[in-house]
Amino acid sequence: MVVALVAALALCAGFAAGRLRARRRRSPSQRDALCRLAAEAFPGGVLLLFDRRLRHALATGRGLKAIGLSPREVEGRTVREAFPAEVGAVFEPAYRGALEGRESAFELPHGDRDHLHKVVPVRDRSGAIVAGMVVAQDITDRKTREHRLKEWASRDGLTGLWNRDRLVQELDRFLEEGRRRDDRAGSLLFVDLDGFKSVNDTLGHAAGDDLLRSVARAIEARVRYTDTVARLGGDEFAVLLPGAEAAQAERVAEKIAAAVESAWPPGLRGGASVGVALLERGSRTAADVLSTADRAMYAVKWRRAS
């Protein structure tokens, strides 16, 4: 969208460049009016034109009002005069870079909205740089959609828990922090359901799906908000417990096992085997930790069966 806006307004910049070279104030010309109309055609867009003194000659677009500004508050003022100090500190280097022939693009929040800004030089017919131009577009809705899509891609479709990929990402991030900090303790629980196949065989797959959802809620209810609960696939779950050492992790594992058993359909035998792997200092990968937790889970399952 911003690229299209830049292309559509390039002609306007050429019009306004002539206005800058005149070095005197005039009433808006028909060309200026057309330029403003072009900028207004882009919802949430902003067009700023500035001279070599970093003073704004033109400020237009629907987005100005959205960020709490009007053309009158920007036109005739320098970048430092028109914007708050924290915004000016970002804009000024980009403005100077444009006047030296460099283009730049960056995201910046204005109020509760996010905008993508592109700052480019404006050249006359001989190729000389005579001004700079800023084109900004509100990208809040786009970023919200992207965030939702990314989150949906990280969720298990049946239970709503995080999926295996997201767990691996969180685990890798935790391990990386642990390599930088000596006090980064934590544990990983590997939860495998016992007797789940009999639920599907006896009550049907719909009942099995209901049980998986119930188990997901039961696990979430026994851990902290800061813990990561994921469904790895099938009847396997995992829980990342940052800061939990062995004793605490074992207590959580016992609570989860009891909660899963309580969620089991009446008349059928079942429950969960929960293995614990400590996230110790070192350079282990997420795959290593998952493998360790998986082995610990099978040791618990063997003890439950014997």
**Residue 208, both tokens:** 């099995």
Q: What is the pLDDT of residue 24?
A: 43
Contacts of 125 (CB under 8 A, 6+ apart): none
**How far apart (Å, rounded) are the C-alpha atoms in residues 43 and 78?**
25
Using DSSP bridges, classify how beta strands 186-194 and 271-278 pair: parallel, antiparallel or unpaired: antiparallel
- Helical H runs in 154-275? 164-180, 196-203, 205-221, 246-263
Read off the tokens for 147. 């965030």
The confidence score (pLDDT) of residue 268 equals 93
User: Both tokens of residue 27?
Assistant: 């009433």
Scanning the structure block, which residue is given the tokens 């719909």? Answer: 206
* Backbone φ, ψ for residue 247 (5° rounding): -65, -45
Vertex 82 angle, CA 76 and 87, to 5° = 145
Rounded average pLDDT per 10-residue block, the chain, 306 residues = 49 53 50 60 78 92 82 93 91 96 91 88 92 90 81 88 94 83 81 95 95 96 95 96 93 96 93 92 80 95 84
Q: What is the pLDDT of residue 148?
A: 78
Give the integer Cα–Cα distance in Å for 164 and 252. 20
pLDDT at position 45 is 81
Contact assessment for residue 272 and residue 256, using Cβ atoms and an 8 Å cutoff: yes
DSSP state of 78: B
Active site members: 235
* Torsion from C-alpha of 286, 288, 293, 299, nearest 10 degrees: 170
Interhelix angle 30-40/2-22, rounded to 10 degrees, is: 160
Kindly report whether the global pTM for this prediction surpasses the value 0.95. no
Query: Which amino acid, one-letter code, is at 276?
Result: V
